[in-house]
């Protein structure tokens, strides 16, 4: 129509929002709770790419089949073995946590996927993945990945105080939530400290690891920091509410975005879902874990969460409950409204 705005056509792989996770060892339950949080709130179809040790594959299949059909119809999933395309597989496996380095190989393995959101197993979505997926449309012509800063305040940041290798920006970036345009990653020649000309992603990984392996502490996250130090124009930095960790509240509240908007993506690193050091994080994990899929979200998720939070007010993170509750409340209202509208629409007769 004349005057109508044309939206750029989405790549065909965008018909699905692709979410990747790498699960090894005892991370089965944590991964399933993360996937559950994704399915509970998202609007568009999801495609899960689950990289797991062989022993976990039957367990994943069994548990996912137990979910009610009203939810299983919202996603497809594929389970992949752990594989490393270059270098020594045992060496990659031992880098930082078991199998974590697998995420570095996603552009090489998922050749037919255009864009992807990678998350650690200890991540929980408190709003639809659609909202973080939309950030892909905000990339400029050179950006091919998005991550949040490792810290907001350089003087208490890990990289700014201890790193013995190059890292991105003033505080480094955290790789627990990483949005990637895989097509761009595969097509880019990356600047590096090894040869004057560029290297492809796959060519660069092993030599980079060999060069810095005696200086890195956080494994694959350090390698990503080194890559984006040399290629800063390739990175889009998203704000801390998209990767909210205990560090953002245990030294006083230092994530302004979460204070204003609430936490969008919760990242319970350092095992905080499973000990009593950060009860606010544990409360959110347990409430999503225990939520019976087809119950009322407010009655069986939000209200139990509010009451659990009352027990955490003596902790630094518990003193700011609104930061944790604001976004999830908004999300649930939207989910509820959508369901009511769909229900009314389906039952409306003229």
Distance CA 91, CA 87 (A): 8
pLDDT band for position 3 (50/70/90)?
very low
In the chain, what are the domains?
A: 17-238 (3.90.550.10), 241-345 (no CATH)
pLDDT band for position 346 (50/70/90)?
low
pLDDT at position 2, please? Answer: 37
Residue 306 near residue 283, CB atoms below 8 Å:
no
For residues 320-346, give the mean pLDDT: 83
Q: What is the pTM of this model?
A: 0.92
Can you read off the two tokens belonging to residue 289?
């874990």
Instruction: Identify the H or E element spanning 159.
Output: helix 158-162
Burial grade of 292 (CB within 10 A; 0-12, 13-18, 19 or more): exposed
Q: What is the pLDDT of residues 111-158, one digit of tens each?
A: 999 999 999 999 999 999 999 999 999 999 999 999 999 988 877 777
DSSP secondary-structure letter at 120? -
Q: What is the pLDDT of residues 60-97, one digit of tens each?
A: 999 999 999 999 999 999 999 998 877 777 787 777 56
For residues 170-183, give the mean pLDDT: 95
pLDDT at position 66, please? Answer: 96
Query: Is the pLDDT reported for residue 7 higher than 70?
Result: no
- To the nearest whole percent, how much of the chain has pLDDT over 70? 92
Residue 249 near residue 279, CB atoms below 8 Å:
no
Length of the chain: 350
Beta bridge partners of 117: 19, 179
pLDDT at position 9, please? Answer: 47
Q: What is the pLDDT of residues 24-64, one digit of tens each?
A: 999 999 999 999 999 999 999 999 999 999 999 999 999 99
DSSP string covering 61-98: HHHHHHS-HHHHTTEEEEEE----SSS-HHHHHHSSST
Q: What is the mean pLDDT of the chain?
A: 90
Can you read off the two tokens belonging to residue 84?
């490393």
Residue 167 near residue 226, CB atoms below 8 Å:
yes
Residue 200 near residue 190, CB atoms below 8 Å:
yes
Distance CA 52, CA 61 (A): 11
């Amino acid at each position: 129509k004349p005057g109508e705005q044309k939206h750029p056509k989405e790549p065909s792989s965008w018909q699905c929002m692709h979410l990747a996770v790498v699960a090894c060892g005892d991370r089965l339950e944590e991964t399933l709770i993360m996937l559950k949080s994704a399915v509970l709130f998202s609007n568009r179809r999801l495609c899960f790419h689950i990289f797991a040790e062989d022993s976990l594959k039957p367990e994943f299949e069994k548990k996912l089949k137990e979910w009610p059909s009203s939810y299983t119809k919202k996603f497809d999933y594929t389970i992949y073995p752990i594989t490393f395309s270059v270098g020594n597989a045992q060496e990659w496996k031992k880098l930082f946590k078991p199998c974590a380095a697998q995420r570095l190989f996603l552009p090489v393995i998922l050749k037919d996927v255009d864009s992807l959101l990678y998350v650690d197993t200890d991540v929980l979505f408190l709003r639809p993945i659609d909202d973080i997926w939309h950030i892909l449309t905000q990339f400029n012509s050179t950006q091919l990945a998005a991550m949040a800063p490792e810290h907001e305040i350089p003087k208490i940041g890990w990289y700014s105080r201890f790193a013995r290798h190059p890292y991105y920006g003033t505080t480094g970036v955290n790789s627990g939530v990483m949005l990637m345009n895989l097509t761009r990653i595969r097509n880019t020649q990356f600047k590096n400290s090894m040869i004057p000309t560029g290297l492809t992603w796959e060519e660069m990984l092993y030599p980079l690891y060999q060069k810095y392996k005696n200086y890195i502490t956080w494994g694959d996250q350090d390698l990503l920091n080194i890559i984006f130090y040399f290629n800063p124009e390739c990175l889009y930095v998203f704000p801390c509410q998209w990767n909210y960790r205990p560090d953002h509240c245990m030294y006083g509240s230092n994530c302004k975005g979460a204070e204003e908007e609430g936490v969008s993506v919760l990242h319970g690193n350092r095992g905080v879902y499973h000990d009593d050091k950060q009860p606010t994080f544990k409360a959110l994990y347990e409430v999503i874990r225990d939520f019976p899929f087809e119950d009322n979200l407010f009655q069986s998720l939000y209200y139990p969460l509010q009451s659990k939070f009352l027990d955490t007010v003596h902790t630094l993170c518990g003193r700011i409950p609104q930061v944790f509750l604001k976004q999830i409340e908004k999300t649930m209202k939207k989910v509820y409204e959508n369901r009511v509208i769909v229900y009314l629409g389906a039952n409306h007769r003229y």
